[in-house]
Structure 1
Amino acid sequence: MVNAIQSKFPTAYTILFGLIVFMAALTWIVPAGQFDRVQNEALGKDVPVPGTYQLVDANHQGISDILMAPIQGFYDPDSGMANAIDVALFVLVIGGFLGVVNSTGAINTGIARAMTRMKGKEIWMIPIMMALFAAGGTTYGMAEETLAFYILIIPIMIAAGYDSVTGVAIIMLGAGIGVLGSTINPFATTIASNAAGIPFTEGMTLRLVILVVGWLICTAYVMWYAHRVRKDPSKSIVAAQNESNKEFFLKQVAADDARLTKSQSVILVVFSLTFAVMVWGVSSQGWWMGKMASLFLGSALVIGVIGRVGEKGFSDAFVEGARDLLGVALIIGIARGIVVVMDAGHITDTILNWSAESVKGYSAVVFINVMYGIEVLLSFFVPSTSGLAVLSMPIMAPLADFSGVGRELVVTAYQSACGIVNLITPTSAVVVGGLAIGRVSYDKWIRFVWPLLIILSILIMAALSLGAMA
C-alpha cells in the first residue's frame, strides 16, 4: 500500500531532472542575452549594469548538455569553481559522523531519557527550537548548515509522539522565516542593500515586523499540526510511513528506564559541543562547508575513541552512515544542474531584463507588490540569496526611484521573496536535501506548507503596501 501511494508522485530525482530538461528546452525558445558587468568593490563581485542588456548568440542546450548538467552541478570544470560538491561532501561526512555516534547507543539512550523527563511538556520544544533557527536565519543566513540538524531533531520529534514532518518544519520553517525576515544577514540584506546603493539599516523596522509576526505564524502553525498528529497519528502527512520512519530514525531505541553510561554521557557532551562549535565557526569565523566537514570528521574520531568502537567498527559505522545520506548528496548536485543549464544557455539575464521592463509605470503600491511577485519568480531560477541579490538589485532597485518608492522596500521585497520561495523550491539544495533526510516527499511537503505560504504572502504584501504608502 505504501509503495502504491508513493508511486503516484515522481521522486525528487525525477522532478529535478525534469526541470533540467525543461530549462534546456527554454534555451531553444527564450532569446539569449546578457548584461554588461562591472566589478563592485564593496561586494567583491561582478554586477550587471542597468540599460546594457543585449542579445547574444544562442547556446542551445542539447541532450549532452542535459546529461552533463548534474555532473557540472557538483563541479564545473570549465569555471574551476566549486558548485555543490562541498555541500554534498559535507552531507556525507555528517552521515558518517552520525553513524559513529549511533553505533555507541548514546543518542537513542539520551533521547529516551530526555523524553521521560519532558513528558507533558514536549510541545514547548517547538517554539524554542524555531526561535533558535530563526535567530540563525536572520543574523547570518543559516541555510546549508541546517542539514546537520535534521538527523538530530527528527528522532526527538518522533520519540515525542509527533512525526518527521514536524521535525523538518521546525528546521526549514524556523531558519526560513529568519531568512525571510533578515535583519543583519550578510548574504541577503547586506549584499542586496550594497548592490542597491543604500545602507543595510534602512528598512530595518519593517523587516523586524515581518520577522516577529512571521515567526509567530509559523510557530503556531507547526504547533497546531504537531498537536493534531500526536492526538491522532492518522492525521500525519506521512501517516502511511510512520512505522517505517520510527524504525529508521529510532534504531534500537533504548527503554525509558535505560541508564546512560559514563562514556555515553561524555559522547553526548562532545556531540552537543560539535554543533555549538559549528554555529560559532559559521557565524563569527567565516567557516564554510570544508571546515565544517573537517569538524564533524574530527568529532567522529574523538567519539569513536571514547566509545571504544574499534578501527573496523568505526570504519563500518562511518561508511554505513554516509551511505544513508548518499541519496541526499546526489539530489544536491542534480538541483544545482538546473542553474548550470540556465547560465550556459544565456537565458538568466533575459528573464531578468523582462522582469525589469514589466514593473515600469506603476503606482507605488502596485509597483512594490509586482516587484515582490517578480522576485518570487526570479528566486525559483536563482535559489541563492546572495546570487539573486547581486544579479537583480543593480537592475531592479533604481526602478524604485521612478515610482516614488524607497530602495529599501525593494530590498525587503527581494529578501521576503527569497525567503518564501526557499521554503519550497526544488532548485534549492537546502529544501530537497532537508526533505530527503527527513524522508518527506516533495508533494507531501507542499501539501503541508501551502496554507502557510498563502498566509505569509498576505503578511508580506500587506507590510510592503503599508511601507509604500508611508
Structure 2
Amino acid sequence: MLQQKKSRIPHTFVTLLSFTIVMAIMTYVLPAGQFERAEVDGRTVVIPDSYTIVESNPQGFFDVLKSVPKGMTETADIIFFLFIVGGAFQLITDSGMISSGINLLVKRLQGKEKWVIPILLLVFGVLGSTMGLSEETIVFIPIGVALALALGYDALVGVSIISLGAAIGFFAGFMNPFSVGVAQEIAELPLFSGVGFRIIILLSLWVATSVFLMRYAEKVKKNPETSLLYDRKAGTHVTAGGIDFENLPAFTKRHLATLIVFIGGFAIIGYGVFQYGWFIVEIGSVFLGMGILTGLISRMSPSDIAESFVVGAKEMVFAGLVVGIARSILVVMEDGLIIDTLINYLSHLISSLPDSLAVVGMYITQIVINFFIPSGSGQAAATMPVMIPLADTLGITRQTAVLAFQFGDGFMDSIIPTSGVLMAQLSIAKVSYDVWLKFIGKLMLIWLVMGMIFLLIANYIQYGPF
C-alpha cells in the first residue's frame, strides 16, 4: 500500500527569512530615497514634500544574514521581556494557582461557558483602547489557552480571546496614547478627540468578533474534530499547557495569596503605565518580582525558584527568536533605503484617485505600509506628516485621515508575519501560522470591510475633532 507523501508547511523561520530575502531583492529594483526628518517635541517626524532620490544601498546575501542579529538587537527589550515573563509565569503555574483557579471558574460557569468569550473580549478591548495593550498580551496567552481548553474549546479560541480582544481595542483606540495619540498630535488635533465615534467602532467590532469566535467555539465543543488544531492521530486538540483538566486541584488559601500577588502586580503595572509611562523594562521588572514572591509563597527554596524560572524562560526561546527574525525584514528595508520610496509612491497614488475614493486609497496605503512598519507610533511618525497635507488638499478631514491610519495600522497586525507580537503569541500557544491564517481569514475580511464602511461614513459626515 502506497503512502501519501505528507505536505510540509514551511517553518516559521523559513517564512520570515523568505520575506527578508524578498525585501533584499527589492532594494535592487526600487530606487533608494529618503524624506528629510525633524525633531518635534522629542519625536522624529517626516517633513512633507521633502522626498529625494539618494544613492542606492542594495542589500546582499551577507546583509541579509546581518539583519537577523541586528533585528534581535533592536528588539532585545521585547525578547528579554519574554524570557522574564516566561520564567515568572512558570513559577505562577507551578504554584497551582492557575489550574485551581480554572477549576473554580469552570464549575461556576457550567452551562454558561460561551459568555466568557464576549466578556473577556470586551475587557481586553477596553485595555487595548486605553493602554494600547499589545506586547503585554503575550503574558496572558497561557492563561487564555488553558481557560479555553478547560471550557471544552481549543487553543485557537484561547489565543483569540486575548489577541483579538486587545486588537479590536487597538483598532478603535479611543484613548490609545501609542497610535491615536501620536497621530492626533502630528495632525494637530485635540488629544483623544472624536472619542464618541471610536467607541461606536469598538462596540461594532466587539459584536462581530464575539459572534465569530462564539460560533467557532460552540462548533468545536460539540464536535472536537472540527477544530483546526485537532490531531487525528492522537484524537485530541493540540494543547499549549499540558494541564490535566480531569484532576485539577482545589483552590486553597495559598492560591488566593498568589492570586492577590498576581492582581496586585497588574494593578502596579497599570498605575505605572498611566502615571509614569512605564513600558517593557518596568513591566518586566514587576513580573520578575511577582514570580519570586509567588515562589516564596509556595514555599519553594531559592534554588527551586531559579530552576523553575529557567524552565519557563526556555519555553520562550522560540517566541523570542521569532520576534528578532521578524524584525530583520524591517532592518533590510531601512538599510536598503526603500521604506520612504514606498511611502512616497503610495501617497502619489492616493492623490490621483477621485475625491470620493481618496479616503479608501489612504486606508489601503496605510495597510500596505503597516506590513513594513508594524509599530503603531513608528508608522504614525513616518506617514502622518505626509498624509495630513494630502488630506487637506483632497478635502478629507484630519480626523478621518487619523482614522484611516488607525485602521490601516491595526487590522493587519493580527495577520502579518512581520508582527513580532503576533508571532510570539502564536508560538506560545503552539498554533502554527498557516492554521492561524486559515482560522482568521473570514474575520479579517469582515474587519476590513467594516473599516471601509466606517471610513466612508466618517468622510460623509466630515468627521471632525469632537
Range class of TM-score, shorter chain: over 0.9
Q: Secondary structure at the match of 2:153?
A: coil
Counterpart pick for 1:295 among 275, 281, 286: 286
Q: Give the deviation of 1:192 after TM superposition.
A: 0.7
Counterpart pick for 2:112 among 113, 118, 121: 121
Q: Kindly report which structure 2 residues correspond to 1:29-178, keeping only aligned pairs within 5 A, or say none.
A: 29-41=29-41, 44-75=42-73, 83-178=74-169
AA of the residue aligned to 2:186: A
Q: Secondary structure at the match of 2:269?
A: helix
Q: Quote the residue 1:401 is aligned against.
A: 392
**Deviates most, 192-201 or 446-455:** 192-201
Q: Secondary structure at the match of 1:251?
A: coil
Counterpart pick for 2:256 among 251, 255, 265: 265
Whether the aligned pair in 2 keeps the contact of 1:362 and 1:403 (CA below 8 Å) is no
TM-aligned CA distance change 1:6 to 1:337, over 3 Å: farther
Q: Give the deviation of 1:46 after TM superposition.
A: 1.7
CA offset digits 1:12-60 (Å, max 9, x no partner): 111111111111111111110001111112xx21211111111111111
Q: Quote the residue 2:464 is aligned against.
A: none
Q: Give the deviation of 1:280 after TM superposition.
A: 3.2
CA offset digits 1:233-281 (Å, max 9, x no partner): 11111112873644x413355625x433332332232233323333333
Counterpart pick for 2:174 among 179, 183, 191: 183
% identical equivalent positions: 34
Counterpart pick for 1:334 among 313, 325, 331: 325
Q: Does 1:312 align with 2:292?
A: no
**Deviates most, 259-268 or 12-21:** 259-268
Q: Give the deviation of 1:357 after TM superposition.
A: 0.7
Q: Secondary structure at the match of 1:187?
A: coil
Whether the aligned pair in 2 keeps the contact of 1:84 and 1:332 (CA below 8 Å) is yes
Structure 2 Cα separation of the partners of residues 338 and 274 of structure 1: 35
Give the unaligned 5+ runs of structure 2: 462-466
Q: Quote the residue 1:255 is aligned against.
A: 247
Whether the aligned pair in 2 keeps the contact of 1:196 and 1:398 (CA below 8 Å) is no
Q: Quote the residue 2:423 is aligned against.
A: 432
Structure 1 Cα separation of the partners of residues 313 and 223 of structure 2: 34
TM-aligned CA distance change 1:262 to 1:114, over 3 Å: same
Whether the aligned pair in 2 keeps the contact of 1:361 and 1:403 (CA below 8 Å) is no
Structure 1 Cα separation of the partners of residues 193 and 241 of structure 2: 45
CA offset digits 1:196-224 (Å, max 9, x no partner): 23324454343232222111111111111
Q: Secondary structure at the match of 2:291?
A: helix
Q: TM-score, normalised by structure 1?
A: 0.93
AA of the residue aligned to 2:135: E
Give the unaligned 5+ runs of structure 1: 76-82
| CA RMSD across the alignment | 1.9
Counterpart pick for 1:389 among 371, 380, 394: 380
Whether the aligned pair in 2 keeps the contact of 1:191 and 1:386 (CA below 8 Å) is yes
Whether the aligned pair in 2 keeps the contact of 1:108 and 1:250 (CA below 8 Å) is no
Q: Does 1:377 align with 2:368?
A: yes
Q: Secondary structure at the match of 1:39?
A: strand
Find runs of 4+ consecutive structure 1 residues off by over 6 angstroms. Answer: none
Structure 2 Cα separation of the partners of residues 133 and 52 of structure 1: 40
TM-aligned CA distance change 1:23 to 1:50, over 3 Å: same
Q: Secondary structure at the match of 2:299?
A: coil
Q: TM-score, normalised by structure 2?
A: 0.94
Structure 1 Cα separation of the partners of residues 272 and 216 of structure 2: 34
